[in-house]
Chains A and B, each alone.
Chain A
């Protein structure tokens, strides 16, 4: 099966259990099992190729320019881990089906589980380190969901948050490390990186990359001092713990260390950091585990300890160490998953996991007893079980390891750790299952159905099988080791067997087991000693740390952003100016390359008006109507400037937009106070003026700078000028750019405009249906109203002028492709014509004559523009390719027909609709209760009869 499919199956499958929730628990579990099984079988179909030593790959270029490709690779190592993930995953799914209670949402659980499974498979099959990072983060996220699955438990939520914080932080540093690694090797493909050992280790950035990557691995694999999150993640349902902490999540860090082994290991830095961290973790984990009373906590710390053991083996940097590590990963996955599931069974049946409340279960749960005992003895390192074999290899490797110049340090600590390890295994068996039957269990336990004990039983069979006949596992482990080592080292010749003779490792093993038994004999005094000893509580430290970080962030954010817009506006402006100044001061400035053009008196006059209007606004802004008039002048001068500097289209757009904006602001001012009171202090105004002056100078300096220099590279508009007529069929290049070259942009912009108008409409509706409505209706205008609301002269004038303006709009629209004009400008002109009717003849009169709702006009515009674009698909061209032809219909002259004109029609309609919908919304607010809407367009109309006119007059 294709590698893509193996990775994709769990992800796609993840959709199903969530959707199938109503189909029942059996269907959910069955479906999840089937999906996993399909991926598992798919993986097995690749077994012959892997056994033959081939590298199975699959590749799709994703973002080649970033070096990010969807490249998958399957070698011995990847196969081994994928086998563990999918194989143990199948057992976990079967187990979870029986474990979860009726109150648990099973679809949700299996969806998270499959997401996690897919992410894990993705990690071990990735050939591209960027892709690997994506999957790496996905495991952090999906494990967060799994650990916090029991949302009602505060421990579950806290544990999930802690796991996410720690592993997420590690993931971030890992991104940094991987990017450095990719930069050094010149490629983000693992297969390339793995072949550049010498290049990478000689690079000065090797150490930072190593530290960052190890930080990621250590946090994920719970190595000291990041081991604390793992026990807290035990608040998850037991199937999750069994899955995450035996075969998958925590093995991801180990996997990555193994994957990167050929390029990163073998240096003194690697050896010291990894071996030391592993050793410390192994000892600390084992010691704490012995004194934990919660079965799952005991197993959690024992997992920490065993991960430390594997890390230490990888740290030694020898081929034998790597082989022992791989073998122990296999063994640990089998016995630890079985133990977690057994702990889950005990919890499920006895309703407690506290070892102090258990004991004597051997008589009540014989099957569980056998399973748990065999697995625990394997973990303790008892011969004829698989844990013994890899532990022997570890001790053997330890005797050869010299750390900090000491020959005995590593062997002594390894024996010490093994001693505690044996002790907690014996405690697990002795205090839970042996001893007399008690009568104070929360519930009287008995063996569960086969659904729960069968999955761990399968694993225990493996434990015994490998333990008795290690030669069965040998070829496979050696194959995996070969792909770990790559070309860096040879696979060791050592055989896997139970009896190696009277070697030091055997004595160490015997010492550990005997010591463990002795320790258990004196457990009670030891526990008193342990309880009396002071020791740091990781959770408290972690929470204090998080609280400190949050407090710091709060201080920082509240200092900048305290709800005062004017404050953070000032901060933002000052920051932008400061950053600009920094860039200016550190950059280089070339000599001017352009001549300054002469000033004309007219230009100076325009400048003076603009400057006066702006200054006037600053000083007179408290008089709002005045500032509105002044901004009109500024806008007018900007439009004149556009005409002057050869931009007729811009000038037309600016001046029409100016008109509608001023009308809009006038409508708003109708409701707002007419004056702005003096509120800010002189200090405050001085500060604002200083920021404003600095900003103005910066903008001026920047504009001045580039106006006097040619662009570094020629502008791309030469292309537009050259192709406007040939390719777009129009001589107005600006319009051709809008409707043709960059038609997609324009299409987006009319949609944005339409959304803005709809938003305004929606806001108006909300206002008018809420408490504001009453206030609006009873509002007393603060200015005297004009006696004649609809002056006859204006009504007549606008009525007469309407067809003329429409004609002008039509003309501007048609000529747009070749002369200044086009859909935008025509739309604005037509809007102004309609607005004039509203102003002159009143809202009701104009609305009554409205044939199409403005929403519809916007929609039609966007639709026409979109359909025009889609039309080009039918002639196998990309979206929005335009075409044109010349036709001649006698007696007219020859003229051009272009699809771009159709697109422009869409633009026109969208603009008309958007502008009118906005203005209409505003004017709806203005309708008041105590003034009846005039039913006639003119207050005085000679054609109406005298009595009616008199009645209306009285009414007003």
Chain B
């Protein structure tokens, strides 16, 4: 099971990085979202994996998953929504303003290798 989670984190990270390096805003945003998943799962997994032990206290039960990473990731998920929304808004504003959704600065991009 650990292998599945670790490889899922790896796949999400790889996909996220690849999309983040694309040249248009939309795939970059999706790439960041994938990276967010990867980071959230990674943080969550730092409490180690437990099956069938949600951290809801019950009489006579003393096997619980680590609640702290869960609490931290919960707020991270909500914040990541806010962040995504702001980034999307900025991308949209840039596109509507310039009729262009490239992420690279067009003037400098011609000098570099970014085209």
Contact = CB atoms under 8 A, between A and B. Distances in A.
B18 A618 contact: yes
Interface string A639-677: 001101111111001100100110011001101110011
Nearest to B18: A692
B86 A820 contact: no
B16 to A, nearest CB: 8
A695 B14 contact: yes
Interface stretch (A271-279, A478-486, A597-605, A931-939): A597-605
B23 A597 contact: no
A797 interface: no
Given A570-B21, A621-B30, A646-B50, A692 B56 contact: no
A210 interface: no
A635 interface: yes
Contacts of B12: 610, 614, 634, 696
A617 to B, nearest CB: 6
A776 B64 CA distance: 53
B17 A691 contact: yes
Contacts of A775: 96
**What interface size band does chain B fall in?**
35 or more
Given A646-B65, A672-B25, A567 B30 contact: no
A514 interface: no
A677 to B, nearest CB: 8
Interface string B71-109: 101110111111111101111110111000101110111
Interface stretch (A119-127, A698-706, A891-899): A698-706
Given A569-B20, A717-B47, A563 B66 contact: no
A824 B78 contact: yes
A47 interface: no
Contacts of B93: 763, 766-767, 772
A562 B95 contact: no
A664 B1 contact: no
Given A646-B52, A704-B3, A733-B67, A567 B14 contact: no
Given A649-B74, A650-B73, A695 B13 contact: yes
Given A611-B8, A752-B82, A756-B82, A742 B71 contact: yes
Among B3, B17, B108, find the residue whose CB has the most chain A CB atoms closer than 10 A.
B17
A596 B3 contact: yes
Contacts of B113: 567, 684
A725 B55 CA distance: 12
A567 B15 contact: no
B88 A665 contact: yes
A913 to B, nearest CB: 12
A834 to B, nearest CB: 16
A915 interface: yes
Interface stretch (A15-23, A355-363, A434-442, A917-925): A917-925
A706 B6 CA distance: 10
Interface in B1-42: 1-30, 33-34, 37-38, 40-42
Nearest to A756: B82
Contacts, number: 338
B5 A707 contact: yes
B86 to A, nearest CB: 5
A614 B10 CA distance: 11
Contacts of A46: none
B102 to A, nearest CB: 8
Contacts of B108: 562-564
Contacts of A921: 89
Contacts of B53: 646
Contacts of B71: 734, 737-738, 742
Contact of B67 (A631, A737, A756, A824): A737
Contact of A567 (B22, B84, B114): B114
Contacts of B48: 594, 707, 710
Interface in A449-478: none
Contact of A603 (B4, B52, B95): B4
Nearest to B95: A672
A134 B42 CA distance: 41
B98 to A, nearest CB: 10
A28 B47 CA distance: 63
Contacts of B67: 717, 720-721, 724, 733-734, 737
A618 B19 contact: yes
B22 A676 contact: yes
Given A566-B22, A717-B66, 10 more contacts: A599-B3, A610-B11, A638-B37, A688-B17, A692-B16, A698-B13, A721-B64, A749-B78, A749-B79, A756-B85
10 contacts: A565-B104, A565-B105, A657-B80, A668-B91, A673-B101, A700-B13, A715-B66, A733-B55, A738-B75, A759-B89
